[in-house]
Amino acid sequence: PERPQILPASAEERIFAAYPDLVTAHHPLAERWWEDFPAYTSRLLEHAEQMAGVCKLAFELEPDLGLLCVDFMSTDHVGHLGYARFDPEHPAHASTGGGDELLQVYERVDALCGELIDAAAAQYGEEPTVLLFSDHGMKPIYWMFHLDRWLEERGHLRFRKRSLQPWRRGRLDYLARVDQKLVRTLPWYGRALDRIPFLPRPAADRLFADIDFGTTRAYGFASQGQLYLGELTGARNDPAYIDALAAELAEIPHPQTGEPAFQVLRKEELFTGPFLDKAPELMLIPYDERINVDPSRRRWTQPFERHERLDPEVSYGYSGHHGVTGILAATGPGIQPADVPEGSEIVQLPATILSLLGLEAKGLDAKPLAAILEEDAGGAAETVAPETQREASDEPVYSEEEERQMVERLRDLGYE
C-alpha cells in the first residue's frame, strides 16, 4: 500500500507524528517523474532521509531491539529511471541530458547507513553487526528484446483480435472476468470471439489478458526473461517441443556482435521446492546484461530495438534494469574478513542472520554464509522449532480498500 502499515498502533502514531507524509515508496508514474527528474530525485532523497529517521525512532521505541531491517527503495528507483542520464554511452543519454542523480542518491544512502550505525552504537552502547546488501544489481538498458513479438513472429504465440478485457474495471467488469476464464479453459473460445466484429479490440498494454491460450504454445510474462508454455495446446507436456524451442531461443543473435544473445535455462536448473510447477518453464538470461527482456505486447516492428527513446508507458520508461549479481558487505561482531564465496545466494542471508543471533531455525533450505562468520558468532545455537513459534493472528492487517489498492498496483506492474 502507499501508506505504510505500522504495528503496534502506538508506534504508528509516533512515526506519523514525526513524518506525516511518509509513503512506502514513491510511485514513478503517479508522480510523472519524466517531467522533472531532478525534482523527482529530491523526493527520493527526502524519502531516504525519512526512512533513516524512522529507524532512529525505532531505536527509541525498542530498548531491547535485536534486529532492524530497512529497505532504501530510492536507490532502486533512481537506478531504473536515471541510468540514461548518468551513463554517457547510454543510447538514450542524448535525449535525457546528463545528470548525476544516481550518484547523489547512492552517496546519500551510504551516508545515512553510516549515521544509523553510529546511532545504534550510541543507543545500545555496543558496536552493531551490519549486513548491507542488495537483492539484485543494476545495469543500463542498451537494447530491448521484445520476447512476445519474437514468439508471435515464429508462430509460438497468438494474440486475440477481439477481447472483452477493455471492459475490465468498468460496469461490465464481470463479463471481462468471465472472458478471461473462458479463454484459459476452452481451446476454441479465442478464435470464435475473433469472428464477432462489434466486440472491442484488445488494448495495447493488456498482454496476459489477450493471449489466445487455445492456440498459444509459449508466451513471455513478467520480467527477467520468464517464458511459460501453453497447457491447452499441450506444449507444456511436450518434451520435444520444449527442446526445439530452447534450441531456437539459444540461437538468437546479439544485435551488435552476432554472437548468441541468451543463455536458456530450464526451471529445474534454477528452482526447487513444492511450487516448482508454477515456475516459468524456461528462462532467458542475457549474456550481455545491457539487454532487457521485455514481454509487452505492443506492435513492435522487430524483436530487438536499440533503447534510444524512454517512453513512460513502456516499463515506466526505465533506462536501467536488474542485474543478476547484487552486493553484500558485512562488518561488526561475529563477522570476519573474507571474500563472499562464489555462488553465494541471497536465500542464505536468513540463516546467516539467525546464526549471528545465536539461533538455528529448522526448515531452511539454505545454509549460513560460513566464510564471513567468526567461528563463535552468536554463541551456542538455540534451536527455534516451527511449533514453538507464535500463532498467527486472525486480526486483519489491511482493510478491504487497502487490499483492493494492492491488487490494483500489482496489476499495474503486470501481474494478473
* DSSP helix/strand/coil, 382: strand
Cβ atoms of residues 329 and 109 within 8 Å = no
Q: Which of 344-353, 381-390, 406-415: highest mean pLDDT?
A: 344-353
In whole angstroms, what is the distance from residue 130 CA to residue 68 CA?
Answer: 10
Q: How confident is the model at residue 414 (pLDDT cuts 50, 70, 90)?
A: very low
Q: Give the model confidence (pLDDT) of 160-197 as tens digits.
A: 999 888 888 788 888 988 988 898 899 999 999 999 98
Q: Give the model confidence (pLDDT) of 242-295 as tens digits.
A: 999 999 999 999 999 999 999 999 999 998 888 899 999 999 999 999 999 988
The pTM (predicted TM-score) of the whole model is: 0.85
What does the pLDDT read at residue 379?
A: 59
Q: Give the model confidence (pLDDT) of 42-66 as tens digits.
A: 999 999 999 999 999 999 999 889 9
Q: So where are the chain's domains? A: 9-137+325-333+386-413, 144-323
Say what percent of the chain tops pLDDT 90. 64
Greater confidence (37 vs 166) lies with 37
Greater confidence (315 vs 65) lies with 65
User: How is 268-322 classified by DSSP, letter by letter?
Assistant: GGT--STTGGGS-SEEEEESSTTEEEE---S--SSSEEE-----TTTGGG-SEEE
